[in-house]
Structure 1
């Protein structure tokens, strides 16, 4: 499980991308703990969408742990909550 940072902003994208790439090597679902995310911007949501797309190619998905109003709001604003299955939808 990978615990996401409190502030998921463009300044975090490069480091987060590196961590997510390592998670993709496991050839399984990727579990992300979002319980402490208090800020999320478009760049990080875009990175999560790219992760979801990569996982779907291998018949896997993101597994969400916890909840984050900030991430939920950003995903809803961008129209990707369903794609990311942030509400548990698949």
Structure 2
């Protein structure tokens, strides 16, 4: 399971990409803990969207654990709640 930090900004994308690459190697659903996330920027949301798209291509998905108001609000504003399947976490 990937545990996201409290702040997910462009400065952490490389680290997150490496973690995602390790998880993708398993070719299964990827579980992401968002409970501590209080700040997220658009670049990181783009990375999460790319992950969801790649997982969808191999018939898998992101499984969200916990709730992050910051992430929920950001993806809602961007119109990505359905795509990232975060509507279940509201």
TM range (shorter): over 0.9
State the distance in 1 between where 2:14 and 2:62 align.
19
Structure 1's consecutive aligned runs of 4 or more residues displaced over 3 angstroms after TM superposition are none
Paired position in structure 2 for 1:32: 32
RMSD: 1.1
| Counterparts of 2:73 and 2:82, CA distance in 1 | 12
Ranges in structure 2 where 5+ consecutive residues have no aligned partner: none
TM-score scaled by length of structure 1: 0.95
Structure 2 SS opposite 1:64: strand
1:77: how far off? 1.2
Please report the TM-score for the alignment, with normalisation by the length of structure 2: 0.95
Q: Number of residues paired by the alignment? A: 89
Partner in structure 1 of residue 69 of structure 2: 69
